[in-house]
Amino acid sequence: MNLSKLLVLGLLHLLPIGTIGGPVFVPDLENRTPGIHGSDRQVVKNLSSRDDVTKNGEKDCPISRLLLARTDDSPKEKRLSFPKFTSPQTEAQQKYQSVYNAIAQILSQDHRSYGPILVRLAWHTSGTYDRTTDSGGSNGGTIRFPKEGNYSSNNGLDIAMSYLEPIKKQFPFISYSDLYTFGGVVAIQEMGGPKIPWRPGRIDKGESESPPDGRLPRGFESGPKLRKIFDAKTFPPQQMVALIGAHVLGGCHKSRSGFAGPWTDSPTTFNNQYYLRLANDEYVIREKMDTLPQFQDQATGRFMMLLADMALVDDPTTLPYVKLYASSQAVWFIDFAFAFSKLLELGVPFKNFQGIVPIQFDKKSG
Ligand code: HEM
Ordered DSSP codes for 112-126:
HHHHHHHHHHHHHHH
Provide the phi-psi class of 151: left if phi over 0, else alpha when psi is between -120 and 50, else beta: beta
pLDDT for the residue 175 = 98
According to CATH, the topology of domain 223-341 is Peroxidase; domain 2 (1.10.420)
Write the CB contacts of 271 (distance below 8 Å, at least 6 apart in sequence). Answer: 192, 248, 329
Q: Is residue 251 within 6 Å of ligand 1 at its C-beta?
A: yes
Q: Is residue 36 within 6 Å of ligand 1 at its C-beta?
A: no
pLDDT for the residue 261 = 98
Q: Is residue 227 within 6 Å of ligand 1 at its C-beta?
A: no
356 CA from centroid of ligand 1 (Å): 30
Hey, which of 138, 180, 244 would you mutate to test ligand 1's pocket, going by the most ligand atoms within 8 Å of its Cβ? Answer: 244
AA identity, residue 49? S
304 CA from centroid of ligand 1 (Å): 12
73 CA from centroid of ligand 1 (Å): 66
The residue nearest atom 34 of ligand 1, judged by CA position, is 120
340 CA from centroid of ligand 1 (Å): 14
- Told to judge if 263 belongs to the known catalytic residues of this protein, a careful annotator would answer yes
Rounded CA separation 81/69 (Å): 8
Asked whether the beta carbons of 275 and 326 are under 8 A apart, the reply is yes
Greatest Cα pair distance in the chain: 88
The residue nearest atom 8 of ligand 1, judged by CA position, is 219
Please state the domain extents for the chain. 3-78, 89-215+344-351, 223-341
Rounded CA separation 101/74 (Å): 42
Q: Is residue 168 within 6 Å of ligand 1 at its C-beta?
A: no
> What tens digit of pLDDT does each residue of 137-183 get?
999 999 999 999 999 999 999 999 999 999 999 999 999 999 999 99
pLDDT for the residue 111 = 81
260 CA from centroid of ligand 1 (Å): 12
Asked whether the beta carbons of 24 and 12 are under 8 A apart, the reply is no
> What tens digit of pLDDT does each residue of 105-127 get?
999 998 888 999 999 999 999 99
* 20 confidence band (pLDDT: 50, 70, 90): very low
The residue nearest atom 10 of ligand 1, judged by CA position, is 219
Radius of gyration of the chain (CA): 26
| Cα–Cα distances in angstroms (integers) from residue 291 to residues 41, 52, 247, 284, 306, in the given order | 70, 58, 18, 14, 11
What is the mean pLDDT of the segment spanning 42-66? 46
Q: Is residue 260 within 6 Å of ligand 1 at its C-beta?
A: no
120 CA from centroid of ligand 1 (Å): 6
| Cα–Cα distances in angstroms (integers) from residue 324 to residues 12, 208, 238, 260, 311, in the given order | 57, 42, 10, 27, 16
Number of C-beta neighbours around residue 300 at 10 A:
9
What is the mean pLDDT of the segment spanning 263-285? 98
CATH code given to domain 89-215+344-351:
1.10.520.10
Ligand 1 atom at shortest distance from the alpha carbon of 221: 5
pLDDT for the residue 147 = 98
Alpha helices in the chain (DSSP H): 3-14, 38-48, 50-54, 63-68, 88-109, 111-126, 146-149, 157-170, 176-190, 223-231, 237-244, 254-257, 273-280, 307-314, 319-327, 329-345
Length of the chain measured in residues? 366
Ligand 1 atom at shortest distance from the alpha carbon of 309: 1
Q: Hey, is 87 helix, strand or coil? A: coil
Ligand 1 atom at shortest distance from the alpha carbon of 156: 16
Provide the phi-psi class of 327: left if phi over 0, else alpha when psi is between -120 and 50, else beta: alpha
Q: Tell me the HSE value of 135 on the side-chain side, using a 13 A CA sphere.
A: 11
pLDDT for the residue 55 = 39
pLDDT at 250 over 70: yes
| Cα–Cα distances in angstroms (integers) from residue 330 to residues 34, 198, 206, 264, 324, in the given order | 47, 20, 40, 19, 10
* 238 confidence band (pLDDT: 50, 70, 90): very high
222 CA from centroid of ligand 1 (Å): 16
Read off the DSSP letter of residue 210: P
Q: Is residue 117 within 6 Å of ligand 1 at its C-beta?
A: yes
Q: Is residue 116 within 6 Å of ligand 1 at its C-beta?
A: yes
pTM equals 0.81
Phi–psi pair at 193, nearest 5 degrees: -85, -175
* 289 confidence band (pLDDT: 50, 70, 90): confident
Handedness of CA 172, 178, 180, 183 (dihedral sign): negative
Asked whether the beta carbons of 339 and 188 are under 8 A apart, the reply is no
Phi–psi pair at 18, nearest 5 degrees: -90, 135
- Told to judge if 124 belongs to the known catalytic residues of this protein, a careful annotator would answer yes
pLDDT at 36 over 50: yes
Rounded CA separation 320/279 (Å): 10
Read off the DSSP letter of residue 305: E
Rounded CA separation 25/27 (Å): 6
pLDDT for the residue 6 = 44
The residue nearest atom 41 of ligand 1, judged by CA position, is 117
Asked whether the beta carbons of 315 and 224 are under 8 A apart, the reply is yes
What is the mean pLDDT of the segment spanning 197-221? 97
